[in-house]
Structure 1
């Protein structure tokens, strides 16, 4: 009787073989929200309680997703292989490395040694993944229709090395951060141009991929955070990165947030770019000490918090009604 109940429950929730790798973007977004609320403490004097709660939640989700995806890999290796070699979905494996790098910053707030160890792991994985995906793209015969914003995810992973590692005490950390900025900055610029060309000259992307358009702001806002963390200052170049990312977000916001776009795991693709924008806005407002920038930072942080709360609730809803893990 119990076994039949377990089978019925599995059928109602779905199968782990259909667990999408892009769900790791939820860890990115919630980690980014934690870091944003910690930055808000510096600018606005807000409590760090929300940052702590979001950090714990991000760690818990990563552990659950990590174990679940390892089980999927063991039980359904072909499914994982197909996902990895897919020209679009494969790019979301970068969400795992970015999640690790962001968690290094979250955990580093409580234990520097643990945060540093996690950063080293995330750095190695991000560089390896960046190499693999750039090399794969250069094999040729790439379908222009697959030149979508998700292509930026592994590249943003290399930029995040300097975001999380700007203050690392290792003697070699400076050169690794420079390497990550060089790879992420140049490749992101090339990819961004190719993606713009595809969006302008080809058919619109499928509805399921529309939320990922927000990823296009990530190279600029993550670039801002990585560059300023490395240089320990905000200069005109950093300001250009921040303002263009903000402008692009306003353009894309009205294209992405529509009721006509169905909800699914792909919606988590909006979380981390918005979190990067929020962190960048808070940092820039702290630097300029001008009330208009402070207002922008507060608005973006509030919007990010609301969006992630809605995404979290709706994801739980489709998980328990069987739509998330349904083939």
Structure 2
């Protein structure tokens, strides 16, 4: 009994049993920021210092969160099981596999072989997770109110396979990327329709889930990146994906960024869709070479940088004052 009490005793900053899985979205957001600044160096000629620093931060945070969540799994397996089977929270397990895919792109810039190995691991994990979640949904008896933007995370994750591995040299990579685009594109379209129906016909999103509404732009901006990386060109279909995602972001921006919405780990849900938008905007601006699109890409990049910095500082604040890891 004394041993159990010692294990369950909370430290001054809280207990590992309350570590939320959606914090892995921070790795996605910071990785996306690093990749965006790398694109910015091509368009604006900026230094790669921010790219390198944010990339290192993303890797360190992923390692720390992985150690923390594995510890939670070992010490409190029932907590992890409850989180995984939850109809809403469970979707954020997709942030782990997507983070691995994005890290493969970051690390691949410094070590091609390491990036390829990490991409393979992320690809297998992402496809397996998407299979589990789609299978679970087809069991039936799901509440319409649970069709929230976070439902897109495990599915959109498959598109990130092509985002990170569009130019992988393996002879089988072409078909795997095509498979990932097929799964992510079609299922995301179905889910997007269900989510729109829920937002239109049911009660507004709870305050804690409101920031996750920005995730709705992910299928379009991640789709743009995955499709163009796979095709190695930008065509009118890609342009349509980019522009609709941009339009949707402007609509959702004024619904999400409000002082009335309390801060929590769920706010990291805005970072990775914005990072996808920033990367897409920079890539599209280089293709079109229009001063307006260049200006838009600069504004989105600046906004992303500010949002990630604020989220990081506020997360550190609630971590050390004990509010992040408390029950």
> Aligned partners of 1:143, 1:95: CA distance in 2, in Å?
23
Shift of 1:199: 0.3
> Aligned partners of 1:205, 1:260: CA distance in 2, in Å?
14
Mapped pair 1:244 → 2:235: no
> Aligned partners of 2:296, 2:173: CA distance in 1, in Å?
33
Deviations 1:150-193 (A, max 9, x none): 00000111000000000100000000000000000000000000
> Aligned partners of 2:13, 2:188: CA distance in 1, in Å?
38
Mapped pair 1:172 → 2:172: yes
Q: For residue 322 of structure 2, what is the aligned residue in structure 1?
A: 322
Q: For residue 156 of structure 1, what is the aligned residue in structure 2?
A: 156
Shift of 1:86: 0.1
Shift of 1:11: 3.5
Matches within 5 A, 1:110-121: 110-121=110-121
Q: For residue 309 of structure 2, what is the aligned residue in structure 1?
A: 309
> Aligned partners of 2:286, 2:155: CA distance in 1, in Å?
28
> Aligned partners of 1:310, 1:32: CA distance in 2, in Å?
16
Q: Secondary structure at the match of 2:32?
A: helix
TM-score w.r.t. the length of structure 1 is 0.97
Shift of 1:245: 0.1
> Aligned partners of 1:268, 1:138: CA distance in 2, in Å?
29
> Aligned partners of 2:43, 2:142: CA distance in 1, in Å?
45
Q: Secondary structure at the match of 2:11?
A: helix
TM-score w.r.t. the length of structure 2 is 0.97
Q: Secondary structure at the match of 1:12?
A: coil
> Aligned partners of 1:194, 1:138: CA distance in 2, in Å?
14
Q: For residue 82 of structure 2, what is the aligned residue in structure 1?
A: 82
Q: For residue 202 of structure 2, what is the aligned residue in structure 1?
A: 202
Q: For residue 262 of structure 1, what is the aligned residue in structure 2?
A: 262
Q: For residue 3 of structure 1, what is the aligned residue in structure 2?
A: none
Cα RMSD between the aligned structures? Answer: 1.1
Shift of 1:39: 0.4
Deviations 1:176-219 (A, max 9, x none): 00000000000000000000000000001110000000000000
Shift of 1:10: 4.5
> Aligned partners of 1:156, 1:266: CA distance in 2, in Å?
18
Q: Secondary structure at the match of 2:12?
A: helix
Q: Secondary structure at the match of 1:13?
A: coil
Deviations 1:11-56 (A, max 9, x none): 3200000000000000000000000000001111111110000000
Q: Secondary structure at the match of 1:83?
A: helix
Matches within 5 A, 1:95-134: 95-134=95-134
Corresponding pairs, count: 321
Q: For residue 145 of structure 1, what is the aligned residue in structure 2?
A: 145
> Aligned partners of 1:193, 1:121: CA distance in 2, in Å?
31
Task: Structure 1: give runs of 5+ residues left out of the alignment.
Answer: 1-5
Q: Secondary structure at the match of 2:162?
A: helix
> Aligned partners of 2:266, 2:250: CA distance in 1, in Å?
20
> Aligned partners of 2:156, 2:102: CA distance in 1, in Å?
12
Q: For residue 53 of structure 2, what is the aligned residue in structure 1?
A: 53
> Aligned partners of 2:119, 2:323: CA distance in 1, in Å?
34
Mapped pair 1:15 → 2:52: no
